[in-house]
Amino acid sequence: MLDITPIRAYWIMERRWGINRRDASKAIMEFVRTYDAPLYVPLKRETILRSFDLAFSLKHDVYDCVYLAIALQEGASSIITTDTNFKELCRAVGIGYENPVPADILKKFGAYPP
């Protein structure tokens, strides 16, 4: 997992979901302290540059492409995400795409192509 992801999760909890700052930070800190997994990995300089190259070549935003680049940096075989936009992105860079949400559930939310 990208090392900054817990901070992003905190931001979403506080800013998007309106969770009290103290409660959001306590939840994130408890998770990080309690669980040895996932493994947090930092971006290398080359990976940051690759993120921008991927964004340009795939015509996609760099924020998503950083996840592709970190997966390539770490030699991952797949990306696990509920974001259906990653299916084609993963295919384009030769990484497997795994979505843990069943297709029938995704269809209910309009997040799955017909």
Per run of 10 residues, the mean pLDDT along the chain (length 114 residues) is 90 93 96 91 96 97 94 95 90 95 77 53
- Please answer whether residues 83 and 61 qualify as being in contact, where contact means their C-beta atoms are separated by less than 8 angstroms: no
Structure tokens at 12: 């979403």
Structure tokens at 28: 């994130």
Residue with tokens 């103290």: 22
* Residue 60 confidence (pLDDT): 96
How far is residue 7's CA from residue 87's CA, in Å, rounded to a whole number? 25
Q: Tens digits of per-residue pLDDT, 36-63?
A: 888 899 999 999 999 999 999 999 999 9
Whole-model pTM: value is: 0.77
* Residue 37 confidence (pLDDT): 85
* Residue 110 confidence (pLDDT): 63
